């Protein structure tokens, strides 16, 4: 009898546990952004989320050295890394054009247009995923991709190594950067390129001075734009942190093409990744455009209109894409805010190639 | 009527704990913005993980098991939950298709 009672108690406890677990399922309370004027305390807390970091991070496996960064810079500007010998990383990632090329679509091997726009390469030291589709987990992995892509620089890493070994002057540079008897290799080339790219960091913008306490650093339009950006317009749902990106991937409802973006690498069941591309940083935006992963949006007016409409409705459309009504004034304020996160570009001294 | 002795009770208890399956636990893991909370315990095979999205953005988590098996949970809008029952032991990495910055790891014990 007591045994039966014990069994009954056990069954009841299982039932209760299952009920408790089930009851908990519907209990999630989203941390929903509230649309109301920010109190000074809320604004101060919000500003902290966009404060610049004090130092640039470098991975333990590829720490910063001056020698490695200098070598990486030479490699970045060296056209011998391409099969034609005429295209360097800097051909598309041109420092005079914000480390991009100003084109809607990049131009690849034999001047053929590529499917996507050239992304700027600033602030990648903080990146969580690289390439528009995130197929590179590290900058070291990324560095190899355009060099070896047949439709881009169309090289093999073996041929790059061969060319650099044949160039007088590279041997000592690699020696200083990496040591060893035979330091020129695919690994050291990509390590140097990644190190140089990590040194490309946006300079202090007016917005940063405002965040640091200078109330006069940005105007009232930019301040209202900042609140819109974080509130009604919900831009900060993805364009968050001091880089104004969380490196997330979304289908923002642009006109779909054969390019599935991250959907090419995700299982077919992950519908949200079809037509999904990386959220770009908004720092140091070239205000004249074009925008979008493939340059579909010609200017900032088109970008804001696209987000106001909410993008093309389809199964993969990001959950974050919701239509929003924005007045002309609010649009101007958003643009004023974007202008406030632009810094004077750093002077770039071109390397003398070995 | 015969009252049970201590020996009867002990025998009944032994029967109960040998016959009943080990109770599977349900472990709730909150998500805030792009942070999946640490699991805090070592779950067992058969335990159920319940991911609760408290963020105001959607997530799409996937679990990679030590043997390379990948289990993808569906898109998880704000305020919703996704559950998965752990089918194998070993190291597990939780990531998000939408937010590669998300990474949480834990080990699953066999019992």
b/e map of B16-28 (b: 16 or more CB within 10 Å)? Answer: eeeeeeeebebbb
pLDDT at B2: 53
Q: Are A256 and A92 in contact (CB under 8 A)?
A: no
Cα A268 to chain centroid distance, Å, stands at 24
Q: Are strands B26-32 and B48-53 parallel, antiparallel or unpaired?
A: parallel
State the CATH architecture for A40-54+203-340: Orthogonal Bundle (1.10)
Q: Supply the pLDDT for residue A38.
A: 82
Mean pLDDT of A288-312: 97
Matching CATH topology for A40-54+203-340 and A66-198?
yes
Q: Tell me if B16 and A134 make a contact (CB, 8 A cut-off).
A: no
Q: Calculate the average pLDDT of chain A.
A: 91
- Give the per-residue pLDDT at B5: 62
- Asked whether the beta carbons of residue A31 and residue B32 sit closer than 8 angstroms, the reply is yes
Model pLDDT for residues A25-74, shown as the tens digit of each residue:
334 544 544 456 788 999 999 999 999 999 999 999 999 999 999 999 99
Task: Answer yes or no: is pLDDT of B43 > 50.
Answer: yes
Sequence ranges of the domains in chain A: 40-54+203-340, 66-198
Contact B54 A28 (CB under 8 A): yes
3-state secondary structure of B36: strand
Query: What is the bridge-based pairing of β-strands B81-85 and B90-96?
Result: unpaired
What residue has token string 């632009």?
A342
Among B47, B84, B98, which would you mutate to test the A interface (most chain A Cβ atoms within 10 Å of its Cβ)? B98
Domain segments of chain B as ranges: 24-108
CATH of domain B24-108: 2.60.40.420
Residues 6+ apart with CB under 8 A from A130: A124, A136, A137, A138, A139, A141, A142
Which pLDDT score is estimated for A37? 73
pLDDT of residue A1: 34
**Secondary-structure class of domain A66-198 per CATH:** mainly alpha
Cα gap A233→A212, rounded to integer Å:
24
- How much of chain A, in percent, has pLDDT values that exceed 90? 88
Contacts of A269 in chain B (CB under 8 A): 72, 74
Q: Tokens 């030479």 identify what position?
A: A74
pLDDT at A51: 97
d(CA B65, CA B43): 14
Residues 3-42 (B) with a CB less than 8 A from some CB of A: 4, 8-9, 11-13, 15-16, 20, 23, 26, 28, 32-34
Helix (H, G, I), strand (E, B) or coil at A291: strand
Question: Does B104 score more than 70 pLDDT?
Answer: yes
Q: What is the ipTM of this complex?
A: 0.84
- In SS3 terms, A216-237 reads as CCCCHHHHHHHHHHHCCCCHHH
In tens, the pLDDT along A154-183 reads 999 999 999 999 999 999 999 999 999 999
Tell me, what DSSP letter sits at residue A272?
G
Q: Note whether B16 contacts A238, CB cutoff 8 Å.
A: no
Nearest to A31 among B55, B60, B100 (CB): B55
């Amino acid at each position: 009898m007591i045994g039966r009672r014990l069994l009954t108690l056990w069954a009841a406890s299982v039932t209760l546990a299952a009920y408790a677990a089930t009851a908990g399922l519907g209990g999630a309370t989203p941390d929903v952004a509230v649309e109301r004027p920010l109190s000074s305390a809320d604004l101060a807390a919000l500003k902290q989320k966009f404060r610049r970091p004090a130092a640039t991070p470098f991975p333990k496996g590829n720490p910063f050295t001056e020698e490695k960064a200098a070598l990486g810079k030479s490699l970045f500007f060296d056209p011998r890394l391409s099969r034609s010998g005429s295209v360097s990383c800097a051909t598309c990632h041109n420092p005079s054009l914000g480390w991009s090329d100003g084109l809607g679509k990049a131009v690849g091997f034999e001047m053929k247009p590529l499917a996507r726009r050239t992304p700027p390469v600033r602030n990648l030291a903080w990146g969580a995923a690289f390439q528009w589709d995130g197929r590179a987990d590290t900058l070291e992995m990324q560095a190899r991709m355009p060099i070896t892509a047949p439709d881009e620089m169309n090289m093999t890493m073996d041929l790059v190594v061969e060319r650099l070994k044949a160039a007088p002057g590279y041997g000592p540079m690699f020696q200083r950067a990496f040591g060893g008897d035979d330091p020129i290799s695919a690994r050291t080339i990509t390590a140097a390129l990644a190190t140089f790219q990590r040194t490309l960091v946006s300079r202090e913008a007016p917005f940063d001075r405002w965040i640091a306490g200078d109330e006069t650093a940005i105007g009232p339009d930019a301040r209202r734009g900042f609140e819109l950006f974080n509130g009604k317009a919900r831009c900060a749902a993805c364009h968050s942190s001091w880089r104004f990106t969380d490196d997330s991937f979304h289908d923002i409802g642009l006109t779909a093409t054969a390019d599935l973006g991250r959907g090419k690498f995700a299982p077919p069941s992950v519908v949200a990744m079809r037509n999904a591309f990386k959220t770009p940083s908004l720092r140091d935006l070239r205000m004249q455009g074009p925008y979008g992963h493939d340059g579909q949006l010609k200017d900032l007016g088109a970008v804001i209109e696209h987000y106001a409409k909410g993008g093309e409705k389809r199964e993969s459309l990001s959950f974050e894409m919701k239509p929003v009504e924005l007045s002309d004034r609010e649009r101007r304020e958003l643009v004023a805010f974007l202008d406030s996160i632009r810094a004077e570009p750093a002077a770039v001294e071109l390397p003398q190639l070995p | 009527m015969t009252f049970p002795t201590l020996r009867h009770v002990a025998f009944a208890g032994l029967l109960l704990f040998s016959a009943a399956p080990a109770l599977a636990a349900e472990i709730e893991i909150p998500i805030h913005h792009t942070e999946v909370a640490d699991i805090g315990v070592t779950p067992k095979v058969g335990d159920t993980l319940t991911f609760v999205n408290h963020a105001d953005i959607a997530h799409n988590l996937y679990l990679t098991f030590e043997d390379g098996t990948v289990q993808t949970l569906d898109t998880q809008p704000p305020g919703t939950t996704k559950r998965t029952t752990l089918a194998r032991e070993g190291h597990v990495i939780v990531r998000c298709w939408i937010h590669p910055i998300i990474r949480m790891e834990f080990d699953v014990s066999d019992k």
